[in-house]
Structure 1
Amino acid sequence: MATPQDLVQAYRKLLRAGLRAVQFAQPSRTTLTRQLRAGFRDPRGTFDLQRVRHTVWFLNAAAQQRGLEHRILKNLCRVHWERENEASRTPWRVRVRRMEMEEQGKGRKGKDEDVIKGTQYEHYERTVAMLNDTMGLCLR
């Protein structure tokens, strides 16, 4: 069981290493802090000191040179930022039309139901999970 001091130290180490890795640049900085906060606030989350240590090493390697680690981190931040801002880029007319269509079609299901909706990031999430498992990381 991790003590509160261990959690605070892990959070600070991850935050410092992550900010150095993204070179304090926006929007990666805010994306990184949001993901880190969400990970530490998740009640279902687990704390593994070895995974935290490996992740700090990964982030330090991303900060030192623009190699594979840097590109992985850059793409992770970009995807999370795009996912957060996806709704804001949709024109309001399209959003209103979608809401009206959902209200009209609440009672019926069938041909109009979109099977792909909600699965667009499934492959991406599995790839990140496999990367975490093979390297012993805790990236989100």
Structure 2
Amino acid sequence: MSGPSKLELIHAYRHLYRGLLKAVQYSKPARYMARDQLRKSFRNDDPTTFNQDKVDKTMEFLRGAAQERGLEHRILRNLLLSKWTPRVGNASTATHVRNTARLNYDMTLAMLNESMGLCLR
């Protein structure tokens, strides 16, 4: 079975990007972080792992985040905030704490994606 066509990937990227912009209400730091994360995931992921159902569910999630400041909006805001938070300190303890926190964050996000059928990063 072959992967999706290039046109399907382009449409998915554009729909997700447009949905992200609406969800963050075009705010300056958030839109750039969302764009960078989306670019990174589309460039680094294997095209054969593309799942249109997950893209559709993620679009539904983004529409919910754009419509009102409910749970979806807060989840998206916290995802982007965690990407933006500057790194401080060079001590090995701070690095260990940061790595442990990132591991727990990644595992929580993976469980959220799995339970809801999303493709958030």
TM-score, scaled relative to structure 1: 0.76
User: What one-letter code is carried by the residue in structure 2 that aligns with 1:64?
Assistant: Q
Match of 1:51 in 2: 54
Deviation at 1:43, TM superposition (A): 4.1
**The residue matched to 1:137 in structure 2 has which SS?**
coil
Structure 2 counterpart of 1:8, which letter?
I
**Number of aligned positions between the proteins:** 116
- 1:124 is matched with 105
User: CA offset at residue 74 of structure 1?
Assistant: 0.4
Alignment partner for residue 79 of structure 1, among 57, 79, 82? 82
Q: Which has the higher Rg, Structure 1 or Structure 2?
A: 1
Q: Which runs of 5+ in 1 are unaligned?
A: 99-112
Cα distance in 2, alignment partners of residues 12 and 38 from structure 1: 14
Moved over 6 A (4+): none
Aligned equivalents of 1:75, 1:25: Cα separation in 2: 14
Unaligned ranges ≥5, structure 2: none
Matches within 5 A, 1:82-121: 82=85, 85-86=86-87, 90=88, 116=96, 118-121=99-102
Report the Cα distance in structure 2 between the residues aligned to 1:128 and 1:42, rounded to whole angstroms: 18
**Within 2, Cα distance between the matches of 1:52 and 1:26?**
24
Instruction: Give aligned-pair identity as a percent.
Output: 43
Task: Give the root-mean-square deviation of aligned CA atoms.
Answer: 1.9
State whether structure 2 residue 48 is matched by structure 1 residue 67. Answer: no
| Alpha-carbon distance between aligned partners in 1 of 2:45 and 2:116, rounded to the nearest angstrom | 24
Which residue does 2:9 correspond to in 1? 7
- Secondary structure of 1:120 counterpart: helix
CA spacing shift, 1:59–1:116, aligned 2, 3 Å: same
Any idea what SS the aligned residue of 1:121 has?
A: helix
Residue 44 of structure 2: aligned partner: 42
Q: Whole-Å Cα distance in 2 between the matches of residues 43 and 69 of structure 1?
A: 24
C-alpha distance in structure 1 between counterparts of 2:34 and 2:69, whole Å? 18
More helix by share: 2
Matched letter for residue 96 of structure 2: I
- Secondary structure of the 1:138 match is coil
